[in-house]
Amino acid sequence: MTDCAATMCVVGRSLQEHGCNMIYMHALHLVAETIRHCFLEVDALIASSKKVFLKSPKHLHAFHSRCPNIPEPPQPILIRWEHGWRQLFYYAKYFEQIKAVILESLEFNPNEAGAIKDSQTKFPRHIC
């Protein structure tokens, strides 16, 4: 197991050679983390929905059959700020479709898994 520190150092040196300041990269990560902590309900919704699809080919198949033109939800990597943004923009773009799949598909039984129940309770039923 590794924390990829050696790889991060190599990438950091490469970025510095191209004129990128690592302080800015770290600042972007801190901004992303701060925003994530300010919107805990959104973060919890994305996390619970991710769990629904992460380990279940059955749920992914139901997702693809209901929404064939939508890519799979991106897998998060918390140490990389751009993945958090990618997830956030994905869920913002496809919010209604993902909500419909999780709330209305028969394959998503809340008694089957805790992640399904969590996800279903976190999706708002009505938006004013």
Number of domains in the chain: 2
Q: What is the pLDDT of residue 58?
A: 86
Same structural domain, 64 and 1: no
Chunked into runs of 10 residues, the chain (128 residues) has average pLDDT values of 59 67 63 78 84 82 86 68 71 88 84 85 70
Which range of residues forms the domain containing residue 111? 40-128
Q: What is the pLDDT of residue 80?
A: 55
Q: What is the pLDDT of residue 59?
A: 85
Q: What is the pLDDT of residue 127?
A: 54
Query: Does the pTM of the predicted model rise above 0.75?
Result: no
Q: What is the pLDDT of residue 81?
A: 52
Q: What are phi and psi of 100, to 5 degrees?
A: -65, -40
Same structural domain, 28 and 50: no
Beta carbons of 95 and 73 less than 8 angstroms apart:
no
> CA 90, CA 74: separation in Å to the nearest integer?
8
Q: What is the pLDDT of residue 55?
A: 74
> CA 76, CA 87: separation in Å to the nearest integer?
7
